[in-house]
Structure 1
Amino acid sequence: MSTPPVPIKPATTGSDTAATLRGAGGLDPNGPVPLYHQIFLLLRNRIYGGNLSAGERVPSEQDLTTEFGVSRITAKRALNELADAGLVIRERGRGTRVVNRPPAPAVTSSIEGWLENITLMGQSTTAEVLSFAYVPAGEDIAHALEVEPGTEVQRAVRVRRLDGEPMSYLVTYVPADIGRHYGSDDLNVQPLLHLLERAGVDVASARQTISATVAETDVATVLSIPAGSPLIEVRRVVSDRSERPVEYIRVLYRPDLYRFEMSMRRVRAESGPRWTTTSSPPVPAGGG
């Protein structure tokens, strides 16, 4: 697999910093994300949010320079990134316009149906194993899998792509006795959950947390993003019917290509009105 270089953060000019410190456009000159990429994200949100319609002109380099107080080079790089993402077309003499059919913004997964979404994910994306080995479990992994530290576990690192674009970085740990039922080639073509079930594991439950983090250099290189870019972090422990942990996974998602969605309903309970997910049965007003 080719590993594209991490984009280098351009030097900000005095006008860049001064304007941003005034809060222009909500840019952060001291953050890990380059100014041009921050502008790219703001403009992309305007396109997907409907503020910039198909065929409509996007602010010019001069417009962006005035709006955000950045240099012309920074503005140009932001527009070039929009074009590279397939969101706009840049034409000499005609400016930059939103394309008629921008690419889909992201894969969307519901919180309550995440595990069921794995099959769809496997059909619409591709995975590549970056490393595959059996290693002694460190304390954190041993705690998650409920084994003694130093116990042999299978560790696999993969990258998952959507339409050829790297979308997520996955690190999985599986007890060695289960992991021996499949190899790295299998992980290239099938979701791990399916491989576990094929190995006879009766998957029954999962516990996961969702948080935010930033991309370290090695992860940023694999995901083709600048180091320090924001990522969605999911950690999950999957257990079988006997409540034995059979998988621990850490997934880092690019938020521009993946998002979680939750449908909710307002219901009345004895303690008063509250929100509940639509997949959960509503609580009757009188208890129940």
Structure 2
Amino acid sequence: MSDRPETTAALDAAPHHVGQIDRHSAVPMYDQLRLLILDSIDKHLLGPGDLLPGEHRLCEQYEISRTVVRQALALLEIEGVVERVKGKGTFVSRPKVAESLVHTLTGLYDEVARRGGHVHSDILRHEREAASADVARMLQINPGDIVVVLDRLRWVDGEPWSLTTTWMPEAVGSHTLDVDMSENSLYAVLAEVDVVATTGTRSAESTIASAEQAQKLQINAGDPLLLLRSVSMDATGKPIEHFVAYHRGDRSRFEFQLEGGRSTARLHITD
């Protein structure tokens, strides 16, 4: 869950440093416990990925029933403050940061950089190959035509985030073959040779991780993934790239903003 050591020290010290349950208060005990946990997070005594004490420990510490503990944790989970992992316990969730990977032509590198994060890519494959029928259809070329394929495991702030395979017509992709794509934005590299995406289509759907994908993304086989498919065109309407990306489902969620007859979809990625 986190690179930080799993700790429950903050709440273990709660009676002396954070607060206690007031049995004479009009505030329900489960909400008091919820507020104590939130206070520990606000004071940075608990951070993203930290393990909370178990239900039994919380019952003993605050002299409350397991029902009260479960109500408090359930509310925090609904609010997105904690996440429960079967067989491991309850952890402080990572904050969610708005991304616009679905409804804009922005790439992951640029979106994360905009909020001050860092993207690194492990280059799994970067070479020429013959286009399959599906790739040819998306790029509006003939099956068997040469394309450049870029296969990457994307890391965000040191954590495996997504598996992305990008295909480009050879005339476009050849500009990337001599570039170190582990630390560069693909769109920025192409922009340097005046290849710019101006229109495109992008779709999102849910799927589950295969054993190979799970191993690379450091999750379990069968865990949820968000599958993005995209094709981008230049100002003339000619496709310049097509990608398929598998994002960790535990790091992504959708938020839809509605206005009259219009709506915009945004992708949120957990830090």
TM bucket, shorter chain? 0.5 to 0.7
Q: Find the counterpart in structure 2 of residue 53 from structure 1.
A: 37
Match of 1:126 among 111, 120, 128: 120
Q: Please state how far the C-alpha of 1:149 moved relative to its aligned partner.
A: 0.2
C-alpha distance in 2 between matches for 1:107 and 1:197: 26
Q: Please state how far the C-alpha of 1:224 moved relative to its aligned partner.
A: 0.5
Q: Please state how far the C-alpha of 1:207 moved relative to its aligned partner.
A: 0.4
Matched, 1:163 2:157: yes
CA change 1:117–1:153 in 2 (3 A) is: closer
Match of 1:276 among 260, 263, 271: 263
Contact 2:105–2:199, Cα closer than 8 Å, also in 1 = no
Q: Find the counterpart in structure 2 of residue 186 from structure 1.
A: 180
Q: Find the counterpart in structure 2 of residue 197 from structure 1.
A: 191
Matched, 1:138 2:122: no
Q: What amino acid does structure 1 have at the position aligned with 2:263?
A: T
Q: What amino acid does structure 1 have at the position aligned with 2:218?
A: S
Q: Please state how far the C-alpha of 1:131 moved relative to its aligned partner.
A: 1.4
C-alpha distance in 2 between matches for 1:224 and 1:206: 31
C-alpha distance in 2 between matches for 1:134 and 1:258: 32
Q: Please state how far the C-alpha of 1:116 moved relative to its aligned partner.
A: 7.1
Q: Find the counterpart in structure 1 of residue 98 from structure 2.
A: 108
Q: Find the counterpart in structure 2 of residue 24 from structure 1.
A: none
Q: Please state how far the C-alpha of 1:140 moved relative to its aligned partner.
A: 0.3
CA change 1:117–1:187 in 2 (3 A) is: closer
Q: Please state how far the C-alpha of 1:198 moved relative to its aligned partner.
A: 1.5
C-alpha distance in 2 between matches for 1:183 and 1:255: 31
C-alpha distance in 2 between matches for 1:233 and 1:183: 26
CA change 1:192–1:132 in 2 (3 A) is: same
CA change 1:143–1:78 in 2 (3 A) is: same
Q: Please state how far the C-alpha of 1:261 moved relative to its aligned partner.
A: 2.9
Q: Mean Cα displacement is larger for which, 102-111 or 184-193?
A: 102-111
**Structure 1: where are the runs of 5+ without partners?**
1-49, 68-74, 88-101, 268-273, 280-288
C-alpha distance in 1 between matches for 2:191 and 2:264: 28
Contact 1:213–1:231, Cα closer than 8 Å, also in 2 = yes
CA change 1:238–1:278 in 2 (3 A) is: closer
Q: What amino acid does structure 2 have at the position aligned with 1:53?
A: I
Q: After TM superposition, which residue ranges in structure 1, 4 or more long, deviate above 4 angstroms?
A: 55-58, 60-64
CA change 1:187–1:172 in 2 (3 A) is: same
Q: Please state how far the C-alpha of 1:255 moved relative to its aligned partner.
A: 1.9
Q: Under a length normalisation based on structure 1, what TM-score does the superposition of the two structures give?
A: 0.59
Q: What amino acid does structure 1 have at the position aligned with 2:202?
A: Q
Matched, 1:78 2:91: no
C-alpha distance in 2 between matches for 1:196 and 1:105: 32
CA change 1:113–1:208 in 2 (3 A) is: closer
Q: Find the counterpart in structure 2 of residue 96 from structure 1.
A: none
CA change 1:231–1:243 in 2 (3 A) is: same
CA RMSD of aligned residues (A): 3.1
Identical amino acids, percent of aligned pairs = 25
For these two proteins, the number of residue pairs brought into alignment is 194
**3-state DSSP class of the match of 1:119?**
helix
